Amino acid sequence: MNIEILDSDGSVVNVIVATEQFAEEVHPGRWRTQPVELPPSIAEVVTIKLMEIKAEAERRITALDWRLQRAQERELIGESGVETVQDVLLLREQIRQASNAAELAVSTLTDVGAVQAFTW
């Protein structure tokens, strides 16, 4: 474990690799453990990427709300030759399918860097 050796003001003067017991014996009350950041695990980055994909799919689907409302209104007034409710619903379904495919692709990756670099 990394141990920071402190001076009387509490400033770090050295970093050693030792046990807490050794640090206390040699530098009583003048040490602290140095936080060590571990690289993220593949499971962690996959989970984060899956949440990002879901959020992006939701954003894209929500962005179509106004087009769906417009199509519904145009169908009510009998206007033809314009984007229909079915057209917009198909776009939403395409987003869902693309999101599902992206999630599946991410789930099969085994390299942290590849997961982090993945875009859709």
Position 34 scores a pLDDT of 83
What is the rounded distance in angstroms from the CA atom of residue 106 to the CA atom of residue 21?
44
* Greater pLDDT, 19 or 36: 19
Is the pLDDT confidence value at 36 over 80?
no
Q: pLDDT exceeding 70 applies to what percent of the chain?
A: 99
> In this structure, what token pair is assigned to residue 30?
């003048």
pLDDT at 19: 93
Which residues make beta-bridge pairs with 14?
A: 5
Position 48 pLDDT exceeds 90: yes
Give the per-residue pLDDT at 22.
95
Vertex 92, ends 89 and 96: CA angle to 5°? 135
Domain-wise residue ranges, the chain: 2-33, 42-117
d(C-alpha 111, C-alpha 107), whole Å: 11
